[in-house]
Amino acid sequence: MLTVNKLLPRGQGLAGPLLQRAASVELDWDVRQKSRFAATDSQGRALAVFLPHGQAVRGGDVLVAEDGSLIRVQAAKQKVLHITACAEHGSTFDLMRAAYHLGNRHVPIELQPDHLKIEPDHVLADMLRAMHMTVVEAELPFEPEGGAYGGHVTHDGHSHHHHGHGHHHEHGH
Question: Does pTM top 0.85 for this prediction?
Answer: no
Q: What is the pLDDT along the chain (173 residues), one digit of tens a residue?
A: 999 999 999 999 999 999 999 999 999 999 999 999 999 999 999 999 999 998 899 999 999 999 999 999 999 999 999 999 999 988 889 999 999 999 999 999 999 999 999 999 999 999 999 999 999 999 999 999 986 544 434 334 444 333 333 434 343 43
Q: Would you give the DSSP letter of residue 120?
A: -
Q: Report d(CA 123, CA 102) in Å as an integer.
A: 11
Give every CB contact of residue 89 below 8 A, 6+ residues apart in sequence: 132
Instruction: Tell me the domains of the chain and their CATH numbers.
Output: 2-75 (2.60.260.20), 77-141 (3.30.70.790)
**Residue 131 to residue 98: CA distance in whole angstroms:** 8
User: Measured at the alpha carbon of residue 111, what is the angle toward residues 109 and 117, in degrees to the nearest 5?
Assistant: 50
Q: How many beta carbons lie within 10 A of that of residue 40, not counting itself?
A: 12
pLDDT of 148: 54
Alpha-carbon span 32 to 60, nearest angstrom? 12
Cα separation, 97 vs 77, whole angstroms: 26
Contact 80, 34 (CB under 8 A): no
Which pLDDT score is estimated for 162? 36
